[in-house]
Chains A and B, each alone.
Chain A
Amino acid sequence: TICSYHYLSKVSRVVVASRNYADFASEATFDIKKCDLHRLEEGPPVTAVLTREEGLHYYRTMQTIRRMELKSDQLYKQKIIRGFCHLYDGQEACCVGLEAAINPTDHLITAYRAHGYAYTRGTAVREILAELTGRKGGCAKGKGGSMHMYAHNFYGGNGIVGAQVPLGAGIALACKYFGKDEICLTLYGDGAANQGQIFETYNMAALWKLPCIFICENNRYGMGTSVERAAASTDYYKRGDYIPGIRVDGMDILCVREATKFAAEHCRSGKGPMLMELQTYRYHGHSMSDPGISYRTREEIQEVRSKSDPITLLKDRMVNNSLSSVEELKEIDVEVRKEIEEAAQFATTDPEPPLEELGNHIYKNEPPFEVRGPSQWIKYKSVG
């Protein structure tokens, strides 16, 4: 059968559809790691069904994010991207798994390691890269940069550690207020988990039964400080105290998906908030100005890459269970690389935003007015 795959792939590349039914399984069931539970009798299921379509979609999405982040690394080293750049490679299973479990009508907010979420929430790669390079074709017209990308039902992209958590609960309050059965996923990191405002938010979310899933992406390090050195309790899924919590293998996209479905159902049923800790890992340092090896060993990074890479895990599962083939996934890799190259080309050639627009977007729905520049003789027009 392996020989016939090769033959078919050379002869009829176009006819992929008919290959599905003939050569691949339509779905497979996988055992997934059981989640640690806090204040819960039952947790998410320990098996997950993955269809071929889902698998291909998750693979492509994760690979796109991976290559997009690596391209950003390249552009940053060429000084075409400036300022802060916090990369997400290694954590792809989190953003793709979360999105797979919710609806586009649900809401999501995160901190500054947000490029992956900007993508899964609907922003095109070229708009993300052009925002990083500060061009007018960027998703925020070059006004925001790496930490301030927004999309429909995606509220950034927030630069102040922890500040996005009360915002997320406020979005959840709006969901409840409007009564449209929507929820808000409110993300923060292991570093932010020690912020006081998060505990204030836990209290109000629980008190008012807000449909909010608090999600701690624990990648083991808050900048250069390991979790052991920052937190008296590193059981982040328990830190909501009276809020039920689950600890999830954040490198396994199916684990993330099933846990999120479980938590979403809890919130939608009006039971109030839930807390999810996703155990994950970032390959890059905290940001592009952090090599990421002064507080952790190269061996540790290499070990995660070889044993727990989320894309490799999915690929192995799919190939070993006839959901896809090495060749088919390689084709996707080639397509993804091409897409990223084209997006990077756009991001490096698109013009910067025009100076005349410097003053825009100070106020919404306001008649045009003047904004002061660096001196009293320099004025910019401001339209909302």
Chain B
Amino acid sequence: MAAAAGALRRLVRCGPQQGLGRRLQLRSGIHGSAPAAVQVTVRDALNQALDEELERDERVFLLGEEVAQYDGAYKISRGLWKKYGDKRIIDTPISEMGFTGIAVGAAMAGLRPICEFMTFNFSMQAIDQVINSAGKTLYMSAGMVPVPVVFRGPNGASAGVGAQHSQCFAAWYGHCPGLKVVSPWSSEDAKGLLKASVRDDNPVVMLENELMYGVPFEMSEEVQSKDFLVPIGKAKIERQGTHVTLVSHSRSVGHCLEAAAVLVKEGVECEVINLRTIRPMDVESIEASVVKTNHLITVEGGWPQFGVGAEICARIMEGPAFNYLDAPAVRLTGADVPMPYAKILEENCLPQVKDIIFAVKKVLNI
């Protein structure tokens, strides 16, 4: 966190940034040939991924509201319309059901569209096209009609946007066979997963997070490469630990790491797993961790009932890791209410660091 804060200060001092892929050089302190890591925000990582994939494959194009001339409602597609033009970056009218169907049809006919939802709340208008047209067609056609489309946009709670703009759709889309569903946390996740999703021949729902867009992360040289992909279907262990497994996705991963940093001072070592992919879920990584730590806590922003955590608990019960649990698995989720507006209410409707710490101590009985 301190490194990130330092980088932010340097960002401010360096003055106005321009163009795509703005970067800050961190002094590595070692002269000569050491590889240079850079600080890149999630927004810029997504922008780079889009730019690279548009350049790599002519069939790739982006459509959605305000993606072109406005540079993207959240500036994810900044500069792309200027570089690629009207054919590849398409501003749509406010017609989710219509333009989502158009994206799916274009994919069926051989293009590789990226369909942006300004937020996934608006995807509900188009959800029939995502599930019935995109998700099921390969199966119904016995393999004849693939649908290589990416649906992406911000998902889940933001800050003070109210109930209709704060829903998490991980469980809804994660429910459906035929779709892949990914949920990045860091810049590395964002870049690698978006690139992997575009190159995947299947319909992928990519659930980003608006509050993460401005957060910088270190990206190694390997991650900066144009060929760096994050495999879909594989979780990442962000922090090794021995006492308890914290499984999370998206923004909550950061909260888990913060909780782990506090708990380590009390001698508790948390293993933090970043799911990265909701469907197909990497249950094996969770199981291996639970076998090691004997304690499981899931953390997510979505509602509790029929959610990601509920699925993880069920799967753990069915598998070898159940016998290694020393306590029932615990879920931390969004509160079971529509998201309120007032700050104090909103804050208490999402799992906070203190809630994670509390849950860890409960589960470990300390």
Contacts and interface: CB of A to CB of B under 8 A. Distances in A.
Contacts of B93: 200, 203-204, 207
A293 B109 CA distance: 40
A196 B93 CA distance: 14
Interface string A135-172: 00000111110001010000111111001011111111
B321 to A, nearest CB: 13
B105 A171 contact: yes
A282 interface: no
Nearest to A207: B93
Contact of A144 (B108, B140, B148): B140
B95 A174 contact: no
Nearest to B147: A364
A174 B111 contact: yes
A173 interface: yes
Contacts of B214: none
Nearest to B136: A148
A160 B132 contact: yes
A203 B98 contact: yes
A290 B226 CA distance: 58
Contacts of B133: 158, 160, 163, 167
B13 interface: no
A178 interface: yes
Contact of B142 (A141, A165, A173, A177): A141
Contacts of B104: 166-167, 170
Contacts of A144: 140-142
A198 to B, nearest CB: 8
Determine which residue in A170, A197, A200 has the highest number of CB atoms from chain B within 10 A of its CB, and name it.
Answer: A170
Interface in B43-99: 61, 87, 90, 92-93, 95, 97-99
B107 interface: yes
A201 interface: yes
Contacts, number: 147
A296 interface: no
B92 A204 contact: yes
Contact of B141 (A140, A173, A177): A140
A360 interface: yes
A143 B105 contact: no
Given A140-B144, A174-B109, A204 B99 contact: yes
A173 B61 CA distance: 11
B140 A143 contact: yes
A204 B177 CA distance: 30
A201 B103 CA distance: 12
A288 interface: no
Given A204-B99, A363-B202, A365-B201, A384 B143 contact: yes
Contact of A203 (B95, B105, B140): B95
A271 interface: no
B106 A376 contact: no
A211 B102 CA distance: 13
B132 A163 contact: yes
Interface in B123-177: 128-129, 132-133, 137-146, 148, 177
Given A144-B140, A160-B132, A204-B99, A166 B105 contact: yes
Contacts of A363: 138, 178, 180, 201-202
Of listed B97, B109, B137, residue having the most chain A CB within 10 A: B109
Given A174-B111, A204-B95, A364 B202 contact: yes
B280 interface: yes
Contacts of B202: 363-366
Contact of A173 (B105, B138, B146, B180): B105
A68 B132 CA distance: 28
A7 interface: no
A173 B105 CA distance: 8
B196 to A, nearest CB: 12
Contacts of B177: 362, 371
B180 A148 contact: no
Interface string B247-274: 0000000000000000000000000000
A175 interface: yes
A201 B106 CA distance: 13
A143 B180 CA distance: 21
B143 A167 contact: no
A140 B95 CA distance: 32
Given A169-B102, A364-B148, A371-B177, 16 more contacts: A141-B142, A143-B140, A150-B144, A150-B145, A160-B128, A168-B105, A172-B105, A177-B87, A197-B95, A200-B93, A203-B95, A204-B95, A207-B93, A362-B177, A363-B178, A365-B201
Pick the 6 closest A-B CB pairs, nearest first: A170-B105, A166-B101, A200-B98, A174-B109, A167-B105, A200-B95
11 contacts: A140-B142, A155-B105, A156-B145, A166-B97, A166-B99, A170-B104, A170-B106, A173-B111, A177-B111, A208-B90, A384-B143
Interface of B: 61, 87, 90, 92-93, 95, 97-111, 113, 128-129, 132-133, 137-146, 148, 177-178, 180, 201-202, 280, 318
